[in-house]
Amino acid sequence: MSDGIISQYGFLFQRLVFLDIAISHASMERFFTYEGVEDIDVSQSGNVEDLAMVAQSKECYIQVKSGTVNKTCWAKVLGNWLLVDGYENSTFTLVCENELDFDISESSTIDAVYSYFDGGKTMKKSSIARRVYDKFILNNDEASVKQIITNLSNKCEVYAISLDEVSARISQKVSDTYCKDIKVYDKAKSIRVQRLIEYFMTEIDSAIKNKKAYTLTFPKMMELIGRVTLEISDNKYTVDITAIKKRKQKEAEDLVSNSGIREVRQLKLVKDDPGFVAGELVKELLYKDFREVYVDGGVVVSNIEDNAYTNYQDALLELDDSPSARQVFMQTTRKEIESSIMDNSPIYRNGCYVYLTGEEAESSKKISWGDEDE
Asked whether the beta carbons of 346 and 330 are under 8 A apart, the reply is no
What pLDDT score was predicted for residue 373?
A: 67
What pLDDT score was predicted for residue 309?
A: 97
Asked whether the beta carbons of 120 and 83 are under 8 A apart, the reply is no
63: β partners: 94
Strand 59-65 and strand 214-216: pairing?
unpaired
Q: What angle do CA 302, 305, 310 make, to 5 degrees?
A: 125
**In the predicted structure, residue 344 carries a pLDDT above the cut 80:** no
Predicted TM-score (pTM) of this structure? 0.78
60: β partners: 42, 91
Length of the chain: 374
For every residue of 10-56, DSSP letters joined together read HHHHHHHHHHHHHHHS--TTEEEEETSSSSEEEEESS--SS-TTTTT
pLDDT in tens, 233-274: 988 888 777 767 777 888 898 999 888 999 999 999 999 999
Distance CA 249, CA 32 (A): 35
**What b/e readout covers 76-112, taking b as 16+ CB neighbours within 10 angstroms?**
bbbbbbbeeeebeebbbbbbbbeebeeebeeeebbeb
pLDDT in tens, 213-222: 999 999 999 9
Domain borders along the chain are 1-104+156-236, 241-365
What pLDDT score was predicted for residue 167?
A: 96
Which residue, among 300, 299, 291, has the nearest Cα to 356 in the 3D structure? 291
**In the predicted structure, residue 324 carries a pLDDT above the cut 60:** yes
Strands in 214-216's sheet, in edge-to-edge order, are 157-160, 91-96, 59-65, 40-44, 30-34, 214-216
Half-sphere exposure of 230 (CA within 13 A, CB side): 6
